[in-house]
Amino acid sequence: MAGREQAAQRVAALRHEIEQHNVRYYVYDEPSIPDAEYDRLMGELTALETEHPELVTPDSPTQRVGAAPLAEFGSVQHAVPMLSLGNGFDDEDVLAFDKRVGDTLRGAGLLGPAEAARYFCELKLDGLAITLRYEDGELVQAATRGDGQTGEDVTANIRTIKAIPLRLKGPAPEVLEVRGEVLMNRSDFERLNQKQAARDEKVFVNPRNAAAGSLRQLDPRVTAQRPLRFFAYSWGEVRGLPAGTPVVFDETGGAVRASSLPRDTHGGMLQWLAGLGLPVNVRFNHEAIGAEGLLAFYRRIGAERSGLPYDIDGVVYKVDALAAQRVLGFVARAPRWALAHKFPAEEAVTDLLGIEVQVGRTGAITPVARLKPVFVGGVTVTNATLHNEDEIRRKDVRVGDVVVVRRAGDVIPEVVGPVLERRAADFPLFVMPTECPVCGSAIERPEGETIARCTGGLFCPAQRKQTLLHAAGRKALDIEGLGEKLIDQLVDQGRLKTLADVFTLDAFELAALERMGKKSAENLVAAIEQARRPSLGRLLFALGIRHVGETTARDVARHFGNIEAIMQADEAALLEVPDVGPVVAGSIHRFFLEAHNRDVVHQLQQRGVQPQAEAQTQDGNLTGKTFVLTGTMPTWSRDEATRYILAAGGKVSGSVSKKTAYVVAGEEAGSKLVKAQELGVTILDEDGLKALLGQ
Ligand code: IVH
């Protein structure tokens, strides 16, 4: 147990730090640390205050939620306080919550001895809480939560949000306070940030901050330009309903004399709100029974999380029956009848130990952060991308900083920005090296481009390695066993200079390499042998020509039929290939103008590589139809499905648009499926696709 003196000092330090973060977060909408780190500081303070109750003061951050409102907005006293939610982090927390609820309700005779409690499950939307006051059906006031008692008057801004009705539908009560979340969709957020950057204006760290920043604009005309959304999930004061009179309860459990309030459950109330024209998240709201039902919801939403249109940081469970909610009541500022079950944090803080640069296949130089290992998004992260020089400048990230690292889903971890409060010294700015760290060639960054490149071309071992790795890849020559480690060794020994050298490797010399046995050497030679008869499209793709992806390579191969014709084609001839534009045509033409590239092709031919003509498009029933594949299909791989679709004359694209004819969605389909639903594109499963293909 910490000594009293020590505890008092730590409490003071924690309060000071939390207050600073509060101001940044609540007043300026600019969080300086991730939520998980903030929660950790609050947790430490709460624990110390529990241990030493005499240290608790009324102004401690544990005694209120958030900081004081901005002076420029009028303040609004909430008629019914706006509450917070208790948090749960693992299955045990959920089991304990359900047990507490069950015990209390059984004690009150509201639940049978063997009966499980009924809950209403919602998404925990990562936006900002808002209360809307309707009088006689008219929106008269809107306020932020503020400290729970007093919020900011943001009526003028809220009126600009199209999702929020200015007048309710149908017979309305005298007073209705609706509570919910204002948020921004991820796609809207990306677009907004692009616009902001183009105008040299502030870019936001995440959709929540963009939503909060947009709502806290003093000029409502600016808010009106921002793509804000709203979902209702609760209510405050409800008074004077039209005739008929069941009783409902407000957030604090106070009984509200209602007249024709139609439902006595939370779900029923939300339905009623939806009926009045308020947006309710009907797509995900869900009824569940007992802890098992809650956990099943949590897992399902966890799997869908990365594909949702907006950020969520957990799910919320609410006891459904309002009478049961009243019996359960409140602790401090949170209801005992609800629990926020949080997802693992996607952001964490750690030390930035260094910045190195990596050289990609086309020479692109990517600055990479070397980090003190940190657990984030479910894995330990030691490296994270810093994207490019401009990003480092924009974010003002410096070696020595404490930085915020983000890893969401399977996305590559990235450095979001520094925690400026923790910058210990005036660390120097990052400067892009002028020479390639691998080959020593000059690094150049053409005027107007964001990407710096090593000018060494295939002379640069890093580019050579990446080019070979690309050529051996599954979608190119598909040489199983020719991976990174092996390529590193062979390039470093000077044994592999070009792709053509791969076809001179023999089992004897391969077996002598590190980590290679006789058997794997023989397997690799067999794989190389198979790769001598690639389709023309795969060979073209394997050459790693800039801007030439798998589909373009196949289109070009189909059009010209053989490699000589492609090598001789000028830009005009290349432009005749459907879907090939000037950038691609120019890139292919320039590639084959280089003697060393033509040499590689000739050497490949001399070493027995014989590209096979690409299968011609059949005039099948799918001619001209574009497909998008997403998720995992039960039996077909995406490559297989792609082949069948192409063979039937269809096209396969990576992104969903209005022009997409079908989206084929498998298990764990993500944002593409959501987009397809939004656009009303026909969605098929594997069987549906097979039926379409006549299989
Ligand atoms: S209910 C009495 N439902 O989480 C309960 N809150 O940690 C009042 N939030 O201030 C809140 N999604 O900003 C509720 N489906 C949801 C929510 C939700 C997000 C936020 C809200 C609230 C905070 C509490």
Render pLDDT for 342-374 as a digit per residue (tens, 0 to 9).
998 788 899 999 999 999 998 999 999 999 999
DSSP H or E run through 47: helix 35-51
d(CA 229, CA 60): 33
Higher pLDDT, 341 or 613: 341
| Planar angle of CA 215, 216, 217, nearest 5 degrees | 95
Taking a C-beta distance cutoff of 8 angstroms, is the pair 334, 410 a contact? no
Q: How confident is the model at residue 217 (pLDDT cuts 50, 70, 90)?
A: confident
Q: Which of 655, 643, 649, 644 has the alpha carbon at shortest distance from 625?
A: 649
- For residue 297, the SS3 value is helix
Tell me how far the alpha carbon of residue 274 lies from the centroid of ligand 1, in angstroms: 18
d(CA 154, CA 395): 30
Q: Which of 233, 286, 270, 444 has the alpha carbon at shortest distance from 359?
A: 444
Taking a C-beta distance cutoff of 8 angstroms, is the pair 113, 123 a contact? no
Q: Starting at the edge strand that comes first in sequence, how are the strands of the sheet with 229-239 ordered?
A: 138-144, 128-135, 175-183, 229-239
In the predicted model, what is the mean pLDDT of the chain? 87
Q: Which of 80, 30, 83, 70 has the alpha carbon at shortest distance from 153?
A: 70
The verdict on the CB of residue 338 being under 6 Å from ligand 1 is: yes
Mutate to test the pocket of ligand 1, among 25, 120, 124 (most ligand atoms within 8 A of CB): 124
- For residue 188, the SS3 value is helix
Q: How confident is the model at residue 35 (pLDDT cuts 50, 70, 90)?
A: confident
Residue that has been written with the tokens 């959709």 in this structure: 207
Mean pLDDT of 65-89: 77
Residue that has been written with the tokens 């930035």 in this structure: 352
Contacts of 31-35 with CB under 8 Å at 24 or more apart are 31/205, 31/209, 32/419, 32/420, 32/421, 33/349, 33/404, 33/419, 33/421, 34/345, 34/347, 34/348, 34/349, 34/404, 35/313, 35/345, 35/347
Residue that has been written with the tokens 């009966």 in this structure: 115
Q: Work out which ligand 1 atom sits closest to the CA atom of 126.
A: 19
Mean pLDDT of 608-629: 80
Is 0.75 topped by the overall pTM?
Answer: no
d(CA 154, CA 163): 15
Write the residue with the smallest CA distance to atom 3 of ligand 1: 233
d(CA 546, CA 564): 19
Taking a C-beta distance cutoff of 8 angstroms, is the pair 119, 320 a contact? yes
The verdict on the CB of residue 469 being under 6 Å from ligand 1 is: no
- The neighbouring-strand residues paired with 219 are none
d(CA 216, CA 200): 20
Q: Work out which ligand 1 atom sits closest to the CA atom of 313.
A: 19
Please report the domains of the chain, with CATH numbers, ordered by start residue: 1-55 (1.10.287.610), 118-245+259-342 (3.30.470.30), 347-444 (2.40.50.140), 460-531 (1.10.150.20), 536-607 (1.10.150.20), 626-693 (3.40.50.10190)
DSSP H or E run through 575: helix 571-575
Mean pLDDT of 616-629: 75
Mutate to test the pocket of ligand 1, among 35, 181, 278, 319 (most ligand atoms within 8 A of CB): 181
In sequence order, the 6+-apart residues with CB closer than 8 A to the CB of 265 are: 120, 320, 321, 322
Q: Are strands 453-454 and 682-684 parallel, antiparallel or unpaired?
A: unpaired
Mean pLDDT of 277-296: 92
Tell me how far the alpha carbon of residue 233 lies from the centroid of ligand 1, in angstroms: 8
The verdict on the CB of residue 125 being under 6 Å from ligand 1 is: yes
Binding residues for Zn(2+): 436, 439, 460
Q: How far is CA 190 from its chain centroid?
A: 11
Tell me how far the alpha carbon of residue 617 lies from the centroid of ligand 1, in angstroms: 54
DSSP string, 211-222: HHHHHT-S-HHH
- pLDDT tens digits along 83-102: 899 999 899 999 999 999 99
The verdict on the CB of residue 130 being under 6 Å from ligand 1 is: no
Burial class (CB in 10 A: 0-12, 13-18, 19+), 71: exposed
Mutate to test the pocket of ligand 1, among 83, 85, 251 (most ligand atoms within 8 A of CB): 85
Q: Known catalytic residues?
A: 124
Task: Provide φ and ψ at 688, rounded to 5°.
Answer: -60, -40
The verdict on the CB of residue 314 being under 6 Å from ligand 1 is: no
pLDDT at 26 over 70: no
Q: How confident is the model at residue 403 (pLDDT cuts 50, 70, 90)?
A: very high
**Residue type, position 194, single letter:** Q
The verdict on the CB of residue 301 being under 6 Å from ligand 1 is: no
Q: What integer pLDDT is reported at residue 285 of this predicted model?
A: 92
DSSP string, 452-483: -EETTGGGSHHHHHHHHHHHHSTTTT--TT--
The verdict on the CB of residue 317 being under 6 Å from ligand 1 is: no
